[in-house]
Amino acid sequence: MKMDRRTLLGAASASAAAGVLGGAGSAAGAAPKDQIRIGVEEAFSTQEHMKAMRDFVDAHPEVTRFDYKLWRMITSNLKADTPRRLLDLADMRLKEMDEYGVTMHVLSLTSPGVQMLDPDVAVGVAQSANDELAEVIARHPTRFGGLATIAPQEPEKAASEIERAKTKLKLNGVVINSHTNNEYLDNQKFWPILEAAEAMDMPIYIHPRTPSDQMRAPFDDYNMGSAFWGYGMETSTHFVRLMMSGAFDRFPKLTTVLGHMGEAVHFWIWRLDYMSAPGVARGETPIKLLPSEYLRRNLRITTSGQENPAALRYSIDVLGAWNVMWAIDYPYQEMPSAVRFMDNAPLTQEERDAVYWKNAARTFNIDL
Ligand code: MN
Q: For position 162, which CATH number holds? A: 3.20.20.140
- C-alpha 110 – ligand 1 centre gap (Å): 7
- C-alpha 236 – ligand 1 centre gap (Å): 14
- For residue 54, give the 3-state DSSP assignment: helix
Residue 137 resides in a domain: yes
The residues, any chain, with a CB within 8 Å of residue 341's CB and separated by 6 or more, are: 22, 303, 307, 309
Residue 27 resides in a domain: no
Q: How many CB atoms lie within 10 A of CB 138?
A: 11
- C-alpha 44 – ligand 1 centre gap (Å): 10
Number of structural domains in the chain: 1
Residue 29 resides in a domain: no
- For residue 60, give the 3-state DSSP assignment: coil
pTM over cut 0.85: yes
C-alpha–C-alpha distance, residues 293 and 289, integer Å: 6
What pLDDT, on the 0 to 100 scale, is given for residue 64? 85
144-166: string of b/e by CB count within 10 Å (b at 16+)? bbbbbbbbbbbbebbbbbbebbb
- C-alpha 41 – ligand 1 centre gap (Å): 6
Residue 341 resides in a domain: yes
The DSSP string of 203-223 is: -EEE---SPPGGG-GGGSGGG
Residue 21 resides in a domain: no
What pLDDT, on the 0 to 100 scale, is given for residue 240? 97
Q: Shortest CA distance to 107 belongs to which of 336, 327, 340? A: 327
Residue 44: strand pairing partners: 109
- C-alpha 111 – ligand 1 centre gap (Å): 7
CA–CA distances in Å: residue 102 to residues 37, 330, 350, 366:
5, 12, 18, 15
Range of the domain at 152: 35-363
C-alpha–C-alpha distance, residues 257 and 353, integer Å: 19
pLDDT along the chain (368 residues), means of 10: 37 40 49 96 98 97 90 95 94 96 98 98 98 97 98 98 98 98 98 98 98 93 92 98 96 98 98 80 75 97 97 97 97 97 95 98 95
What pLDDT, on the 0 to 100 scale, is given for residue 282? 57
CA–CA distances in Å: residue 60 to residues 78, 125, 181, 344:
20, 19, 15, 46
- C-alpha 207 – ligand 1 centre gap (Å): 7
Residue 313 resides in a domain: yes
Residues with CB under 5 A from ligand 1 (ion): 41, 329
What pLDDT, on the 0 to 100 scale, is given for residue 29? 65
What pLDDT, on the 0 to 100 scale, is given for residue 91? 87
CA–CA distances in Å: residue 118 to residues 53, 74, 123, 132, 253:
11, 20, 9, 21, 31
C-alpha–C-alpha distance, residues 80 and 66, integer Å: 19
- C-alpha 109 – ligand 1 centre gap (Å): 9
CA–CA distances in Å: residue 297 to residues 248, 301, 312, 342:
9, 12, 19, 24
Residue 25 resides in a domain: no
Residue 14 resides in a domain: no
